[in-house]
Amino acid sequence: MNIVPDTSAIIDGRVSERIESDGDAATVLVPEAVVGELESQANDGLDTGWEGLEELQRLAELADDGAVEVRYVGRRTKPSEATGAHEGDIDALIREVAENEGATLLTSDVVQAEVARAKGLDVEYVEPRTRGSGGLVIEDFFDEQTMSVHLKTGTKPKAKRGAIGEMHYQTIDEEVTDEATMKEWADDIENTARSSPDGFLELSEPGMSIVQFRDYRIAVARPPFADGIEITAVRPIVKTDLDDYEFADELRDRLKERQRGVLISGSPGAGKSTFAQAVAEFLTDADYAVKTMEKPRDLQVGPDITQYTALGGDMAKTADSLLLVRPDYTIYDEVRKTEDFGVFADMRLAGVGMVGVVHATRAIDALQRLVGRVELGMIPQVVDTVVYIEDGRVDTVYDVTTQVKVPEGLTAEDLARPVIQVADFETGKPEYEIYTFNRQVVTVPLGDSEGSDETGVGRLARQEIEREIRSIARGHVDVELRGQNEAVVYVEEDDISYVIGKGGGRISDVEDRLGIDIDVRTHDEKPGRGGAGSTEGNGGTGGSTSEGVVVTPEVTSRHVVIRMDEHVGETVEIRADGEYLFTATVGRGGDIQVSRGSAIADELEQAIDRRQQITVHTA
């Protein structure tokens, strides 16, 4: 009897198994297309390729023993056919061999079997071999307080254990895992996910697989993507209800009032996804249609909530599909990239309630991640609530609204503009304002900063004035605020006329843009500053003081040069107004040269711009 096995039968070891069990002499005709496919899989590091090659070696041994005749027939696949394996090109070549040889096709592929029968071929179908243990081989590493297990070739197994907010990364086994064990675990995890109804393969790329098995999310990394086999398994250790959190009643009322745009923010491991799951369950119980968008899907929600992943690898396609489904709320876990924020905003503006999970180290940072990605005036329509989670609890809740007003701290009526107000949800007190100031979007904290007399608005105004004047002046610029809408700008004497402009036109333009009255003066007029205080000469050594030798550095196109003719070969310290900058050795030419663009040169040039006294001290 002549048999033509396809790739699935070879990989499952069904050919040698059939010969050994039947004991009847047979001729096995192995298509070269099968050999090519197995070789390609083995080169890609796939276990199926190696298992298929081992089966071919077993057939060769059986042939040597006289139990079977093995012949290789047909032609190798072309590159275009190999890349089209999922479209049936290789299967078609195998069926062609079976037809030409008048042989029986042996397969574990149900689709291949049905197509061959439709073409009138003799077919022997055998059930595919179940792979994997059916369970999770690394589950023994988990206990009730284990959130994640971290395994890698050549290291001791580690885990994150403890209550939320008190997690500790610790060694859980003193035995170092070898490569053979790691490979066995990795293969079993992936095979079990493929064959078990409790799991699926979320992502499969060369070097990285992501498996969802029951409530475990497992990432399996392999060389060359990683420098060794690594398995990271994560599992939620608690499942919460909205009642377990502070502001539960207020948040329930807010979510039920109308569809909202909510950002749940916090640091990694803070409990953001756990809170998102609690919100999803509450909304479902409140008779809202709730869906999720996740990649990978790892939120632990009830069966009434359908969990979607990226359709064709693109969340925008998932969003398009969801808009046809018209959910009341969608949980988006996680919103990270610019395209994610775009999808979130599009769905929210289409009227869908959105709850997004975002990494942020402060509550305001979550909102700032929208700036530049969503038009400023639309932000309150996209996100009206920010919830910041820390150590598994609700730490901060912000209410986000927009008003047309004069920003806090400014007084001129013509400065009125759209202002986003970020207020504490509990007290209603505004804590931040976000608006456009001099063509820039700024986030200003309200109230005085601790230990500083300068408010956030004052600091912003000073920086903007300095930036505007620096774009005009050629020398050093200092800014001093005198109240909410007045400032004094100190510039070099040579820059006075240039900054003021003809008839005061240039400085008037700056005042109009910023809404602040500006008085322009020279540095010598600045209170507390001495008169001349400068040394004469071009880059030479000035007079000596008890603080060292006063010098005037010369700035060339490539270097900052300090002349020290009388100190050749000596090691000296360079200071600015007594503050240490760097140590150097005076060269044979009697100078110290610092390359421009270096950190040291930048500090020195900044000191020169600030008109600080540069001194040289013998080390």
* CATH number of the domain encompassing residue 14: 3.40.50.1010
For residue 188, give the nearest of 220, 148, 159 by alpha carbon: 220
What is the reported pTM? 0.59
The answer to whether residue 107 scores a pLDDT higher than 60 is yes
Helix axes 248-257, 272-285, angle to 10 degrees: 60
pLDDT at residue 546, rounded to an integer: 47
Helix, strand, coil percentages for the chain (3-state, nearest 5): 35, 30, 35
Query: What is the distance between the alpha carbons of residues 460 and 454, in angstroms, rounded to a whole number?
Result: 10
Residue with tokens 């040069």: 561
159: left (phi over 0), alpha (psi -120 to 50) or beta: beta
Domain end (from 234, 267, 290): 234
Residues 146, 265: one domain?
no
Cα distance between residue 206 and residue 40, in whole Å: 13
Res. 339 pLDDT band, cuts 50 70 90: very high
Q: Is residue 534 part of a domain?
A: no
Task: Give the C-alpha separation, 208 to 185, whole Å.
Answer: 14
The residue behind tokens 């200003």 is: 444
**Cα–Cα nearest to 516, from 585, 578, 438:** 438
Judge whether 360 and 389 are in contact, CB under 8 Å: no
Calculate what percentage of the chain has a pLDDT beyond 70. Answer: 89
Distance in angstroms (rounded) separating the CA atoms of residues 172 and 79:
48
Q: What percentage of the chain has pLDDT greater than the value 90?
A: 30
The pLDDT of residue 547: 58
Pair (472, 605) in one structural domain: no
Instruction: Kindly state whether residue 535 falls inside one of the protein's structural domains.
Output: no
Say which residues have a Cβ less than 8 Å from residue 358's Cβ, sequence separation at least 6.
263, 264, 265, 272, 334, 335, 336, 366, 369
Same domain, 411 and 503: no
Q: Do the Cβ atoms of 353 and 260 come closer than 8 Å?
A: yes
How do residues 364-389 score in pLDDT, each as one tens digit?
999 988 888 888 889 999 999 999 99
Residue environment code for 568-603, b if the CB has 16+ CB neighbours within 10 A, otherwise e: eeeebebbbeeeebbebebeeeebbbbeeeeeebeb
Q: Token digits for 227?
A: 């420098």
Say what the pLDDT of residue 446 is: 82
Pick the residue with more confidence: 462 or 543? Answer: 462
Beta bridge pairs of residue 452 = none
> Looking at residues 603-611, what average pLDDT do you find?
83
* pLDDT of the residue at 255: 92
Ranges assigned E (strand) in 214-370? 216-221, 230-234, 261-266, 290-294, 306-308, 329-333, 353-359
Verify that 162 and 266 share a domain, yes or no.
Answer: no
- Note whether 361 and 439 are same-domain residues: yes
- 288 & 153 share domain: no
Does residue 530 lie in a domain region? no
Which residue range is the domain that position 152 belongs to?
139-234
| Residue 85 confidence (pLDDT) above 50 | no
- In contact, 563 and 590? CB cutoff 8 Å: yes
- Helix, coil or strand: residue 531: coil
pLDDT recorded at residue 618? 79
CB contact at 8 A, 277 and 240: yes
The pLDDT score that the predictor gives to residue 540 is: 42
Q: Which of 377-391, 517-531, 549-563 has the lowest mean pLDDT?
A: 517-531
Q: Is the peptide bond before 327 cis (omega within 30 degrees of 0)?
A: no
Q: What is the mean pLDDT of residues 508-536?
A: 71
Tell whether 202 and 331 lie within a shared domain: no
Give the residue among 312, 302, 306, 313 at the shortest CA–CA distance from 330.
306
Are the C-beta atoms of residues 557 and 564 closer than 8 Å to each other? no
pLDDT of residue 386: 96
Where is average pLDDT lowest: 24-28, 89-93, 123-127, 306-310?
24-28
561 vs 581 pLDDT, higher one: 561
User: Any idea what the CATH number is for the domain that residue 176 is in?
Assistant: 3.30.450.90
Specify the range with the lowest mean pLDDT, choosing from 270-274, 440-444, 448-452: 448-452
To the nearest 10°, report the CA torsion of 61, 65, 69, 73: 20
Average pLDDT, stretch 457-466? 72
Looking up residue 492, the CATH number of its domain turns out to be 3.30.300.20
**Residue burial 189-202, b: 16+ Cβ < 10 Å; e: rest:** bbbbbebbeebebb
pLDDT in tens, 301-326: 888 999 998 898 899 999 999 999 88
pLDDT at 534 over 70: no
Q: Which of 155-159, 373-377, 504-508, 564-568 has the highest mean pLDDT?
A: 155-159
Of the candidate ranges 288-292, 380-384, 520-524, the one whose mean pLDDT is the lowest: 520-524
> Is a pLDDT exceeding 90 seen at residue 605?
no
Q: 441 and 467 share a domain?
A: no
DSSP category for residue 167: -
Q: Tell whether the model's pLDDT for residue 419 goes beyond 80.
A: yes
Kindly state whether residues 373 and 462 are assigned to the same domain.
no
Q: Which H helix or E strand runs over 551?
A: strand 548-551
- Do 171 and 275 reside in the same domain of the chain? no
Domain boundary among 394, 412, 445: 445
Q: What CATH number corresponds to the domain at position 387?
A: 3.40.50.300
The domain tally of the chain equals 5
Among positive and negative, which fits the CA dihedral 253, 256, 259, 263? positive
Does one domain contain both 385 and 252?
yes
Q: What is the mean pLDDT of residues 413-419?
A: 76
pLDDT tens, residue by residue, 184-211: 899 888 888 877 777 888 788 888 888 8
Query: Would you give the DSSP letter of residue 85?
Result: G
Report if residue 134 sits inside a domain: no
**Would you state the pLDDT for residue 458?**
66
Closest listed residue to residue 211, CA positions, set 182, 189, 187: 189
Beta strands of 59-198 (E only): which ranges?
A: 69-73, 104-107, 123-125, 146-152, 158-161, 168-171
Which of the pair, 226 or 529, is modelled with greater confidence? Answer: 226
Q: What is the pLDDT of residue 536?
A: 37
* Highest mean pLDDT pick, 21-30, 276-285, 541-550: 276-285
Which value, in Å, is the radius of gyration of the alpha carbons in the chain?
36
Do residue 298 and residue 435 come from a single domain? yes
For the ranges 32-41, 70-79, 581-590, the maximum mean pLDDT occurs at: 32-41
